[in-house]
A = this chain, B = another copy of it.
């Protein structure tokens, strides 16, 4: 048994007790009444860094919830520097009645730590603190210089971390950024996420006549803005499920044969997937599998639509306005700014002269692709395989983590998505949990990673 396994065995109770203490703080960042709790969680983390004995530990106030910064510089100028990102805030608990127990009273059931924030992200983040603790307590030093930047606004509607990163490239300078805030494909299948989709989000308002009209007196003679909107929505995709906007696919990086083979090897069960969602058939871009569609192909979704009379009963109105919110998920190497321009141009082109349109670009985030052959990922693979005794699989995710792009852009360092969550962890839902195996295995993996990465050629 190696040193870290030894350390974990000896400190098993203490480590769980600490995590439980951290989980007891209801740091719900989107709810005003928990503002002080969010700050308490930040201070709890700071005290934990102080116990581990980091060189510099700081609470950084923002216009919202504070950031926590910590660093240990003892490895010297020639050593590698690792930056860990995570978040100490959590999602709200509603619907509270579906929780088996109080969301902030952690307990272990069937090998899982059940509590709000256990997987997302307190438990995952905490593995890296405890890996650092192992080195500093057992060996007196870390194999690398280690920095942490931890936010309390990842689950809030507004976040200040991107601004902070942009303003502090020197402080955060590092050779790799490690984030544990993603999921494995399956239990017992350590996974590295090497790609995230980006997003380009819009709101479109279509105005027809200058007032609501009686559909009896005007129907058939004046274009109906709901129908024009439905028509525009339909122009977005062709009948093969491809987006019909000129130039939309120009920068799309096609999947390699190797990637497609790897995706295919994953134990994805389409029958189970459909049954879980309650749909008879899935649908998407022709020529691609479901995993390919979600992970590596761009797409278009209407996120909301409204127009006319939506109350009970009926009203014979031909409305003046209709509007929709919609978004495109982007894949490497599409750029959200470029897509926003192409979408705007397309909508201008297809909108008929019977209506006025007002298109707002709401937000954008670029997709992320980490080179799965880079030295940082190599170290990650080795560490996960050593920690869990299983072969690592490569996967992507369909969602976006905008901070990843900010790190890449500002620090010019590779990002490693060394997630430890499981698909059935119920993040953002009642009875959130985090596998005890993945918690202790994650500490090991983090410890191995620091060592492995320290040996890489700089």
Interface: A373 (CB within 8 A): no
Chain B minimum-CB-distance residue to A236: B227
Nearest chain B CB to A371's CB is how many angstroms away? 22
| B230-A303 in contact (CB<8A) | no
- Please tell me the size bucket of the interface on A: 35 or more
- Are A307 and B309 touching (Cβ within 8 A)? no
Indicate whether A98 reaches chain B with its CB closer than 8 angstroms.
Answer: no
* A425 nearest CB across to chain B (Å): 13
Interface check A325, CB cutoff 8 A? yes
A130 at the interface (CB under 8 A from B): no
Give the CA-CA distance A229 to B226 in the complex, in Å.
Answer: 11
If over half of A's interface residues share one DSSP class (helix, strand or loop), that class is named, otherwise mixed; here it is mixed
Q: Which residues of B are found within 8 Å of A277, using beta-carbon distances? A: 209-211, 213, 218, 222
Task: Answer yes or no: A315 CB below 8 A from chain B CBs.
Answer: yes
Which one of A106-114, A121-129, A279-287, A338-346 contacts B?
A: A279-287
Chain A 32-44 interface mask (CB, 8 Å, partner B; 1/0): 0000000000000
Partner of A314, one of B216, B227, B299, B363: B363
Q: Is A74 an interface residue (CB 8 A)?
A: no
Q: Is the CB of B304 within 8 A of A308?
A: yes
Give the number of times this chain occurs in the complex, counting copies.
2
Contact code string A230-242 (vs B, CB < 8 Å = 1, else 0): 1101100100000
Interface membership of A245, Cβ < 8 A = no
Contact (Cβ within 8 A) A315 B304: yes
Choose among B199, B226, B398 the residue that contacts A220 (Cβ–Cβ < 8 A). B398
B221 touches A293 (CB 8 A): yes
Query: What 0/1 pattern do residues 138 to 154 of A give for CB contact below 8 A with B?
Result: 00000000000000000
- Decide if A81 is an interface residue (CB 8 Å cutoff): no
In chain A, residues 183-220, which have Cβ atoms closer than 8 Å to a Cβ of chain B? 197, 199, 201, 203, 208-211, 213-220
Are A303 and B283 closer than 8 Å at their CB atoms? no
A379 CB → nearest B CB, Å: 28
Q: List 22 A-B contacts (CB under 8 A).
A: A199-B316, A214-B399, A215-B301, A220-B293, A220-B301, A221-B284, A221-B290, A222-B277, A223-B282, A224-B301, A226-B302, A230-B230, A230-B231, A230-B233, A230-B234, A280-B354, A304-B308, A304-B315, A305-B305, A308-B325, A314-B325, A314-B363
Which residues of A approach B to under 8 Å, CB–CB? 157, 197, 199, 201, 203, 208-211, 213-224, 226-227, 229-231, 233-234, 237, 277-285, 290, 293-294, 297-310, 313-319, 322, 324-325, 327, 329, 352-355, 362-363, 397-400
